[in-house]
Amino acid sequence: MDDTLKLTDSYWEMLKSLSDEVKLRLATRLTASVVAAKAVNGDTTEEMLKKHMGVWKDDRTTEQIIEDMYAGRQNTKAPLNFD
């Protein structure tokens, strides 16, 4: 049996004797914690996109940028020295 299932079963054994009202409160709190965690992650992604989208400023055309990238490449067959 998977460790997660064992843990879940262990919690269930401890909680199954609680009243229905307490079980519903626990379920509500657990659900809210999952929803809140997902909302935070979603908001962070949106914030990062808004912050960094369109930040690159350059007067060169796309073709000029590509040419500069190719021109800046260096190819060497000399072995690297890590000493």
Q: What angle do CA 66, 68, 74 make, to 5 degrees?
A: 110
Tens digits of pLDDT across the chain (83 residues): 588 888 889 989 999 999 999 999 999 999 998 887 776 666 777 788 888 887 778 899 989 999 999 998 887 777 878 87
pLDDT value at position 5? Answer: 83
Residue with tokens 């007067």: 59
Q: From CA 65, how far away is CA 52, in angstroms rounded?
A: 20
pLDDT value at position 67? Answer: 94
Domain ranges in the chain are: 3-74
Query: What's at 72, amino acid-wise?
Result: G
In terms of phi and psi (left: phi > 0; alpha: psi -120 to 50; beta: otherwise), the region of 54 is left
